[in-house]
């Protein structure tokens, strides 16, 4: 993580399984993705308030998201208000790979230049689809399935409409180190 940070390469940290995470490690992340248990452990003084948990996580990293399973995901929107994105309704079979799929979808979308809120939505779609099949790796959805879920749901008419052009991206380790938002 230190090498990546020094090279201005974005780093996404998913502190799972939860354990002691020294603040200096958390501070090397560009984005922290935590579930409810992890967020509560990392920011115990928040007492389960997602806005306070996000603020606590964002004292270390420029952006954070808390995954809430069937309740969706919590993040700070552009104006700083807490945004609760709803989950995609699916018939869940096994949630073991949902968090990994969420992180993969989020990372892909951020690297492709999607704004943070749109990237979280793409991550949520990937996580929801992963929960519809047993196992972890075998349940990871292909991109076309994620895009189809987003189209069927009406969330995005076209994901490409949300992309940031390359000339609008910045490598800025003080904000989101190359992740457009």
Query: What are the Cα distances from residue 50, in Å, to 24, 55, 56, 83, 139?
Result: 22, 8, 10, 10, 29
Residue 169, both tokens: 């991206």
Catalytically active residues, by annotation: 100
Residue 147, both tokens: 């895009």
| Cβ partners under 8 Å of residue 181, min gap 6 | 63, 78, 115, 116, 175
């Amino acid at each position: 993580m230190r090498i990546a940070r020094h090279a201005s390469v974005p780093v996404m940290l998913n502190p799972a399984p939860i354990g002691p995470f020294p603040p200096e490690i958390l501070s090397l992340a560009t984005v922290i993705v935590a579930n409810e248990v992890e967020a509560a452990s990392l920011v115990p003084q928040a007492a389960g308030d997602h806005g306070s948990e996000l603020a606590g996580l964002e004292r270390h990293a420029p952006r954070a998201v808390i995954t809430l399973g069937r309740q969706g995901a919590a993040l700070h929107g552009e104006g700083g208000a807490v945004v609760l994105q709803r989950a995609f309704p699916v018939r869940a079979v096994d949630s073991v790979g949902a968090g990994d799929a969420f992180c993969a979808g989020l990372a892909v979308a951020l690297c492709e230049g999607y704004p943070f809120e749109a990237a979280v939505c793409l991550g949520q779609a990937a996580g929801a689809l992963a929960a519809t099949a047993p196992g972890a790796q075998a349940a990871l959805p292909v991109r076309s399935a994620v895009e189809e879920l987003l189209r069927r749901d009406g969330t995005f008419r076209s994901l490409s409409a949300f992309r940031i052009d390359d000339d609008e991206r910045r490598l800025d380790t003080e904000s989101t180190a190359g992740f457009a938002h």
